[in-house]
Amino acid sequence: MSKSQFQKPIEIKISTVVAVSAILATSDRLALDAAMAEMTGGSTDFFEDDLAVIDVGALPAGGADIDWGGLIALLKKYRLNPVAVRNAAPEMGGAIAAHGLSLETAAPQRSEAEAPKKVAPAPAPAPAAAPAAAASEAIPGGARVMIIDTPVRAGQRIYARGCDLVITAVVNNGAEIIADGSIHVYNTLNGRALAGASGNPDARIFAMGMAPELVSIAGVYRTFEDGFPAEYARTPAQIRLNGDRIDILSVNSATRA
């Protein structure tokens, strides 16, 4: 009997994905377009077709109606694929559903004894680390950490959901590493590194050798099209969020860029 006769027509399994949060402070498409153009610096692969959750919680109450079709088209122009809307008012539900987006409802708060404080919104589908290369281990205080002992290849994406991420091998150009907590790379960090993916502004990125293409803390991005600052390049350094600014500091001093 052939193998196909034993296969189910479809299987549904749990999969980990991460989505970019697009937090709107205005619904003015011209203003949004200008801001996106400045953010991406004209790069056509800045977002690389990432999934996106549109967060309307910061929009002024009673403001202008949202042109959902126009907004979706604008985000797609910059290679973001909207899949859901967060913090929407009840009256927005019909228009949101009509444009094929789902409503993301915040999960009820749980005590620290029950679960981690935050759960990640969803990274876009991509190859995961080989199971043998990663381990989630308990650390003091009840937190957890994902450990990767093998190089992270170009095109590979690793997501440490609800915990810190520790990598002991090189992170190559074109790779992307994401964690709800902090990121620690005990080697050279190239590629893209996104810490505090579920919105934790206290998360940090540490590396023995810094040479990233892009870094993010709690959704605040900084890119390095002209290269990483020379005084910190490929040296032990850390990256943290200071208000709405990404700071780069030496691990061994208080200086920053």
CA distance 257 to 253: 12
User: Is the pLDDT confidence value at 20 over 80?
Assistant: no
**Per-residue model confidence (pLDDT) at position 124:** 39
For residue 218, the one-letter residue type is A
Of residues 18 and 149, the one with the higher pLDDT is 149
- Which of 35-44, 98-107, 116-125, 149-158 shows the lowest mean pLDDT across its residues? 116-125
Q: To the nearest whole number, what is the mean pLDDT of the chain?
A: 79
**Sign (positive/negative) of CA torsion 244, 245, 250, 256?**
negative
User: Is the pLDDT confidence value at 185 over 90?
Assistant: yes
C-alpha to C-alpha distances, 92 to 5, 60, 95, 162, 206, nearest whole angstrom? 46, 14, 6, 30, 41
For residue 160, the one-letter residue type is A
Phi, psi of 49 (to 5 degrees): 65, 35
Q: Which residues contact 172 (CB under 8 A, 6 or more apart)?
A: 151, 152, 153, 154, 190, 191
Q: Report, as an integer, the average pLDDT of 120-140.
A: 40
Q: Report, as an integer, the average pLDDT of 100-129.
A: 46
User: Is the pLDDT confidence value at 16 over 60?
Assistant: no
Q: Which residues contact 18 (CB under 8 A, 6 or more apart)?
A: 50, 51, 120, 121, 122, 123, 124, 157, 159, 178, 194, 197
Per the rule left: phi > 0, alpha: psi between -120 and 50, beta: everything else, 184 is: beta
> Which tokens belong to 110?
């749980």
Which residue bears the tokens 């290269």?
A: 227
> pTM of the full predicted structure?
0.52
Q: What is the DSSP letter of 204?
A: -
Q: Tell me: the pLDDT tens digits for 230-250?
A: 888 878 999 999 988 899 998
For 103-147, the DSSP string reads EEPPPPP--TTTS-S-------S-PPPPGGGEEEEE-GGG-EEEE
> Which tokens belong to 251?
């691990």
CA distance 39 to 23: 13
Q: Report, as an integer, the average pLDDT of 113-119.
A: 35
Of residues 64 and 67, the one with the higher pLDDT is 67
Q: Report, as an integer, the average pLDDT of 4-18.
A: 62
The residues pairing with 19 across neighbouring beta strands, listed in sequence order, are: 51
User: Is the pLDDT confidence value at 117 over 80?
Assistant: no
Q: What is the DSSP letter of 77?
A: H
